[in-house]
Amino acid sequence: MPELNGLDTINELRELDKFKNIPIFALTAYTDKDDIAQFSTAGFDEILSKPVKENSLIKIINNYLP
């Protein structure tokens, strides 16, 4: 994303009422504990590290389905 990174994007999304309660997942190659803490603080509901494993993604998505 040439204009916004993931942290900037989530900050803008979370300011919009329609995105306040929608789960947003981060998919990232940055996986040290400081990066993960930064993503959590920014408002991501889940952080997945690359390469993502299919079963991990399905499990997380299922946690958010009604």
Q: What CATH number is given to the structural domain containing 49?
A: 3.40.50.2300
List, in sequence order, every beta strand (DSSP E) within 1-66. Answer: 25-28, 46-49
User: What does the pLDDT average to over 21-26?
Assistant: 93
The total domain count for the chain is 1
What 3-state class would DSSP assign to 46?
A: strand
Which of 42, 46, 57, 53 is closest to 4 using CA atoms? 42
pLDDT greater than 70 at residue 1: no
Identify the pLDDT of residue 31: 86
Record the pTM.
0.81
Number of Cβ within a 10 Å radius of residue 10: 19
Residue 1 within a domain: no
Please provide the average confidence, as pLDDT, over all residues in the chain.
Answer: 91
Distance CA 66, CA 62 (A): 8
Domain hosting residue 10, numbered range:
6-64
